[in-house]
Amino acid sequence: MIKITPEELVRYLYNETSEQKTATIKAALQTDWNLRETFEKLQTAQQSLKGVKLSPRPQAVNKILEYASKKYEEVHSH
């Protein structure tokens, strides 16, 4: 039996596996209950992440802009 890692399942979930690896994973999912269970958990996690909206805190953005401004002034003041 071929060992399929959780990382490979994630790549499969996002359609990032080769045709050969995709075929191997599909076949394994048909026969390996533990692998199927892991895959279903990953699918559930993927679905729950679709509604998440992430954005940086305003303080983080301000710190980056301050740093960039300081570096710009340093470069152009010489």
Which domain covers residue 13, as residue numbers? 6-76
On whether residue 11 sits in a domain, the answer given is: yes
On whether residue 56 sits in a domain, the answer given is: yes
Q: How many domains does the chain fold into?
A: 1
* Rounded Cα–Cα distance for residues 56 and 60 (Å): 6
On whether residue 19 sits in a domain, the answer given is: yes
In this prediction, residue 1 carries a pLDDT of 64
On whether residue 40 sits in a domain, the answer given is: yes
On whether residue 58 sits in a domain, the answer given is: yes
On whether residue 34 sits in a domain, the answer given is: yes
What are the b/e assignments for 22-32, b being 16+ CB within 10 Å?
Answer: eebbeebbeeb
In this prediction, residue 21 carries a pLDDT of 96
* Rounded Cα–Cα distance for residues 33 and 5 (Å): 14
In this prediction, residue 54 carries a pLDDT of 86
On whether residue 1 sits in a domain, the answer given is: no
Ranges of residues in the chain with a pLDDT under 70 are 1, 78
In this prediction, residue 78 carries a pLDDT of 66
In this prediction, residue 29 carries a pLDDT of 97
